[in-house]
Amino acid sequence: MGLLDLLLVAVGLSMDAFAVSVCKGLNTKKHPEKVGFIAGLYFGGFQALMPTLGYICGGTIRQYIEAVSKYVALFLLCIIGINMIRENLKGECKGTSGELGFTVMIPAAIATSIDAFAVGITLAALNVKILPSAALIGTTTFLIAFAGVWIGHFFGDRLGNRAGILGGVILILIGVRIFIMG
């Protein structure tokens, strides 16, 4: 998996956080920069943590799945992508209040980063270095969540659920590419 593939995975994974951040922006009357920074820290932090945990779990079973890693990558990325598309077509929007408290943001950050855990298992199967990968995923999510709050604050009504659907499509396409390219 090259840098471009990893960047596309990071963008795809960040789409749930982007969608929630847009909703946060819709509910932000003042200081979208503060809300964006805090949302970015929560979402980016969990998006970096979860693939690391998945990688650790996946690393313990890597020897058993290395021979079938392209099938594992295809399966997991397609399942994650299909689930993201399904959730967004149903119009689910998790953690949409403008609140930034611990009890609101932690569940929202966990809910939007569970997919990243499975991606971490995939990264272990593909023998990808986790620290730079997790840093890229977390940083990308931070930036996209920050931008999402601003976009939601100024343009949110026009976006709807399209960001999450696009993220799901990107993850499916990456899974297919890994399967074909081996």
Residue 45 has a pLDDT of 97
Which pTM was predicted? 0.72
Give the whole-angstrom CA distance, residue 174 versus residue 74.
Answer: 8
Q: What is the pLDDT of residues 91-126, one digit of tens each?
A: 655 445 556 778 778 888 887 788 888 899 989 988
Band of the pLDDT at 75, cuts 50, 70, 90?
confident
Averaged pLDDT, 12-36: 83
